[in-house]
Amino acid sequence: MNELDSNDWFRNASDQVFRAVGTAAKKDLQQDSYGTQISQLVQKAQLLTDSIIRDTVEYGPINHHPVCAEGCNACCHLHVVAHPMEVIAVAEHLHRTTTREELGEIQQRINQHIDQTNGQNAEARRSIRPACPLLKDGRCEIYSVRPIACRGWNSLDRNICDADLADPSLKAATPVNLGQYVMAGRVAEGLAAASFSLSLESHAIDFVRGLRIALEDPELSARLWRGRGDVFSAAVNDTVFPGSQNVEEEDARLSLWNSL
């Protein structure tokens, strides 16, 4: 149990965020039969996430203000998961904003990243810390459209982040603003619930592997995903994302998602 579990106000607020995002996303998806508005839907979720994070940090304890700043990128060496819609939005963004040569370089880095992490579980990945393929010269190339998981992750002590990146074997525990982390997670869960309620692919996927798929043809990926195609099955790694071992908890979660 963390310090937020016993806070009824925070739990109720996070539940409201989840349900508001899920309800709005479901309505948008129902009106978008061919997946042409996925980037706009994701952008709304991202803007909401950023707004909630600002309020959470501003009105939270002073000693819980994240120290994250431009140029620090230890978290860009962590394993990232994302919703299929987020991956499609990033792929569409890259096709719009990069040249063919630049996109080819990104795809090459993606392939290298996948080769480096192939067959490894979460613990093994933690020990090698490959850089995100979208990290160039120490900065994120897609910062404005980065996944919600990246927006929610934070640190209260950069020294610990740097030390952990330098020597992952230390397994240093990064202190985080838990409110920011949890609220971002509830936004992401809202997107997943909306998808699940419409029988669309809803599971979290490996961001890098999913992006390799979507970059081949973002428009086709969006159309197939919205048509209930199994587009991103190759981006799910059971050794990294083991299924819930608690059947009752899993049933309760799916029941909640179906209630949207």
Q: Does 131 map to a domain?
A: yes
Q: Does 3 map to a domain?
A: no
Q: What is the pTM (predicted TM-score) of this model? A: 0.93
Write out pLDDT tens, residues 56-99. Answer: 999 888 779 999 999 899 999 999 999 999 999 999 999 999 99
Strand 139-140 and strand 135-136: pairing?
Answer: antiparallel
Q: Does 253 map to a domain?
A: yes
- B/e letters for 10-28, b = 16+ CB within 10 Å, e = fewer, are beebbeebbbebbebbbeb
3-state SS, residue 141: coil
Q: Does 1 map to a domain?
A: no
pLDDT recorded at residue 99: 98
Q: Does 185 map to a domain?
A: yes
Q: Does 146 map to a domain?
A: yes
- For residue 206, is pLDDT > 90? yes
Separation CA 107–CA 181 (nearest Å): 29
Domain holding 12, by residue range, is 8-258
If one counts the domains in the chain, the total is 1
Write out pLDDT tens, residues 103-113. Answer: 999 999 999 99
Q: Residue 134 — very low, low, confident or very high, per pLDDT cuts 50/70/90? A: very high
Q: Does 2 map to a domain?
A: no
